[in-house]
Amino acid sequence: MELLTGKRALVTGAGQGIGLAIAQTLASHGAAVMLADLNTDALQLARQTIDGQTGWVPCDVSQLEQVSEAVQRTVDELGGLDILVNNAGITRDASLKNMTEQQFDDVISVHMRGTWNGLKAAFPVMRNHSGSIINISSLSGRVGLFGQTNYSAAKAGIVGMTKAAAKEFARGGCRVNAVMPGMIDTAMTQAMPPEALARLVEDIPLGRPGQPIDVANAVLFLASDLSGFITGSVLEVTGGQ
């Protein structure tokens, strides 16, 4: 069953990992998908893995004009924008003692500013119809992780931002929700020290790290009409952690 026939989606950070799985999953349910990422080589490879109507656009989510351009390209090339997934992300982990101001600012500007830029750029296009926006938060934003004072703050901020934006978008029928993944097996987590990774897996009641498709399926639910009365909510995808 296709859940998104005729819908047009923009996914940031779609070059690899969770963003790529989200783009593939939305496309497999009938959506036309615009892939946005900093990494244009990854975007071109990613596009080849997706059947159906797709486009790609270079985009640094921390720059509002680039996000606005990505929204405009989606409208011009796909005919509109019904689904926005603010997924792009980075980590710059370090203990408070060692973290630099630059590492703090970089993470805040990609995650918090980047998500706000997506909401801001999409508002004129999506406020007056029954679209769906999904922001990718993290369990780190709810429990706080050692070495992630920047990332935990940014991901907690995305939760508050989601709930506030849901109220502003709701007037026209557009929904705004967040997905909060736990540990997911991607390049981002593979960059962590192996012993820290092993400790994290031990804490997962379902006994395994999540896969990108686990997050993509939650995004699919929130993007589709199956979640038509859900807005301002946070869906945890953590294996029970």
Ligand X SMILES: NC(=O)c1ccc[n+]([C@@H]2O[C@H](COP(=O)([O-])OP(=O)(O)OC[C@H]3O[C@@H](n4cnc5c(N)ncnc54)[C@H](O)[C@@H]3O)[C@@H](O)[C@H]2O)c1
Residues of this chain that interact with ligand X (CB under 6 A) are 12-13, 15-19, 37-39, 42, 59-62, 87-90, 110, 136, 138, 181, 183-184, 186-189
Tell me 75's DSSP state.
Answer: H
Tell me 9's DSSP state.
Answer: E
Least Å from the CB of residue 71 to ligand X: 14
Asked if 195 is an active-site residue, the reply is no
Q: Which is nearer to ligand X, 12 or 132 (CB)?
A: 12
Which one of 104, 116, 151, 169 is the catalytic residue? Answer: 151
CB burial string 77-87: b at 16+ within 10 A, e below: ebeebbbbbbb
Could you give the CA distance from residue 193 to residue 207 in angstroms, rounded to a whole number? 19
Cβ atoms of residues 59 and 35 within 8 Å: no
Least Å from the CB of residue 54 to ligand X: 16
Query: Where do we find the tokens 């922001």?
Result: 135
Least Å from the CB of residue 169 to ligand X: 20
Could you give the CA distance from residue 81 to residue 132 in angstroms, rounded to a whole number? 9
Tell which residue, 86, 94, 80, has the closest CA to residue 126. 80
- Listing DSSP states for 154-202 in one string gives HHHHHHHHHHHHHHHHHTTT-EEEEEEE-SB-SHHHHTS-HHHHHHHHH
Q: Which is nearer to ligand X, 61 or 126 (CB)?
A: 61
Least Å from the CB of residue 51 to ligand X: 20
Q: Which is nearer to ligand X, 147 or 181 (CB)?
A: 181
Q: Which is nearer to ligand X, 149 or 186 (CB)?
A: 186
Least Å from the CB of residue 175 to ligand X: 20
Q: Which is nearer to ligand X, 34 or 183 (CB)?
A: 183
Locate 143 and state its tokens: 């429990």
**Which residue numbers are catalytic?**
151
